[in-house]
């Protein structure tokens, strides 16, 4: 058996994902918004879902519809037997992440068409049809449409893989876990460094670094995956994949991970997330302004996502903070060191007073941001 997968990620981060998939022993090919990879079995699907830190979803390709139009999409989907995916009548949804076809500029229309075709086939075959639940479906399919073809896939992740399970309450302006992992990798994080996030908020950088340092598979806390409802799913195989991942978790190496957070609510949530991630002894956090706090060690890796003021005129307020960050990077680090700042404001980035060696455009929370990486000598 050979399965074609498409692992999706935040656009712009395809290269990091490609490296991650290759490091798991596969041969990925970069595409738009993700990487394509051929694998041998559903076990590989489980491995990718459990281990990939930077992917959003792993889609399992089912079939293509050439030169799609309303009739051809409906008929091609109606012709398939969908019963194996719907044995106990789970709720379902169709996701249309991308449509660039003049007839289907409205992705909801494609989703509706595909859902009707699938439900009509099921009703004809079984007398029953599944209910649609777009918020928390139990089974999800994905359709990507362009003028040449429509590609239909089974979503083996279901919930985005960024939802690791350690953060249950929402903090203000949280960073997606998969994005934080990708940014750590882009900045060259290794477990030996002394890492500081001076404005750590919900602690996503700290926790993701902790998971990398302890070789903890990011999906180990998750309960839900789409592949659990694939017709070929075997629980024994899945338990084996999980057991191997548990066995690979190692103690914390020589490095250090610590952060500062001055907001009381964020600090409380931060402590809870660290505990849930099982990293209480590995990550140190201080409830204070980083400018007033005493550093427990001199860092050589600073990574942070400071506030930047989304509304017009708000950025001015944060200028002193960015200048302090610049001072911290220049004078408060053990050289050679790395600095890395994700911000949505170019003028504020300039206040840091250092020239980035790399500027990477990143979409964060629907905003165009820049990830600046500094070499500190
Ligand atoms: C954009 S949020 C960071 C989000 C974080 N990356 C996450 O994953 O949740 C910025 C955080 O910096 C904190 N902050 C702002 N100024 C600070 C300072 N001087 N010292 C410590 N924390 C600060 C804010 O309270 C806020 O929680």
Q: What is the pLDDT of residue 315?
A: 82
17 close to 117: Cβ distance less than 8 angstroms? no
CA of 357 to the centre of ligand 1 (A): 24
Identify the architecture of domain 3-155 in CATH.
2-Layer Sandwich (3.30)
Where are the domain boundaries for CATH 3.40.50.150 in the chain? 177-216+241-376
Residue with CA at minimum distance from ligand 1 atom 18: 289
Q: Where in the chain is the domain with CATH 3.30.2130.30?
A: 3-155
| CATH number for the domain whose boundaries are 177-216+241-376 | 3.40.50.150
End-to-end CA distance of the chain: 52
| pLDDT per residue of the chain (377 residues) written in tens, 0 to 9 | 699 999 999 888 999 999 999 999 999 999 988 999 999 999 999 999 999 999 999 999 999 999 889 999 999 999 999 999 999 999 999 999 877 878 878 888 999 999 999 999 999 999 999 999 999 999 999 999 888 899 999 999 999 999 999 997 776 668 999 999 999 999 999 999 999 999 999 999 999 999 999 999 999 999 999 999 999 999 999 999 999 999 999 988 888 999 999 999 999 999 999 999 999 999 999 999 999 989 999 999 999 999 998 765 688 899 999 999 999 999 999 999 999 999 999 999 999 999 999 999 998 888 999 999 999 99
Tell me the whole-structure pTM to 2 decimals: 0.95
201 CA: nearest ligand 1 atom: 27
Q: Residues with beta carbon inside 6 Å of ligand 1?
A: 171, 173-175, 198-199, 201-202, 204-205, 260-263, 266, 289-291, 305-307, 321
The two tokens of residue 66 are 């050439």
CA of 340 to the centre of ligand 1 (A): 15
C-alpha pair distances (Å), 1 with each of 64, 156, 232, 344, 369: 18, 17, 12, 45, 42
Residue that the structure tokens 């960015």 belong to = 322
Output the pLDDT for position 138.
97
Write the CA distances from 63 to 91, 122, 144, 150, integer angstroms: 22, 18, 11, 9
């Amino acid at each position: 058996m050979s399965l074609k997968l498409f692992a999706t990620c935040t656009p712009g981060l395809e290269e990091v994902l490609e490296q991650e998939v290759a490091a798991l022993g596969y041969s990925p090919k970069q595409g738009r918004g993700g990487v394509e990879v051929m694998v041998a079995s559903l076990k590989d699907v489980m491995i990718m879902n459990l281990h990939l830190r930077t992917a959003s979803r792993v889609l399992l390709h089912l079939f293509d519809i050439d030169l799609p139009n309303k009739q051809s999409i409906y008929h091609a989907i109606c012709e398939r037997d969908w019963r194996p995916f719907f044995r106990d009548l789970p709720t379902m949804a169709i996701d249309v992440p991308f449509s660039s076809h003049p007839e289907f500029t409205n992705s909801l229309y494609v989703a509706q068409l595909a859902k009707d075709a699938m439900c009509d086939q099921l009703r004809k075959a079984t007398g029953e049809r599944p209910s649609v639940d777009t918020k928390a479906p139990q089974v999800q399919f994905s359709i990507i449409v362009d003028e040449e073809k429509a590609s239909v896939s089974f979503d083996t992740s279901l919930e985005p893989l960024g939802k690791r399970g350690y953060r249950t309450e929402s903090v203000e302006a949280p960073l997606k876990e998969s994005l934080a992992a990708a940014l750590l990798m882009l900045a060259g994080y290794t477990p030996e460094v002394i890492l500081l996030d001076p404005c750590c908020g919900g602690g996503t950088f700290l926790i993701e670094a902790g998971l990398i340092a302890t070789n903890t598979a990011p999906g180990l806390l998750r309960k839900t995956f789409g592949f659990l409802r694939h017709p070929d799913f075997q629980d024994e195989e899945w338990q084996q994949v999980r057991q191997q991942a548990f066995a690979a978790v190692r103690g914390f190496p020589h490095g250090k991970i610590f952060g500062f957070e001055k907001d009381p609510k964020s600090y409380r949530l931060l402590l809870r997330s660290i505990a849930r991630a099982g990293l209480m002894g590995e990550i140190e956090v201080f409830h204070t302004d980083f400018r007033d706090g005493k550093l427990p060690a001199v860092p050589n890796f600073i990574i942070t996502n400071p506030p930047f003021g989304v509304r017009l005129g708000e950025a001015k307020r944060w200028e002193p903070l960015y200048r302090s960050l610049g001072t911290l990077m220049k004078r408060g680090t053990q050289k050679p060191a790395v600095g890395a700042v994700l911000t949505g404001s170019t003028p504020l980035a300039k206040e840091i007073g250092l020239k980035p060696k790399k500027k990477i455009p990143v979409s964060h929370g629907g905003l165009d941001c820049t990830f600046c990486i500094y070499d500190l000598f």
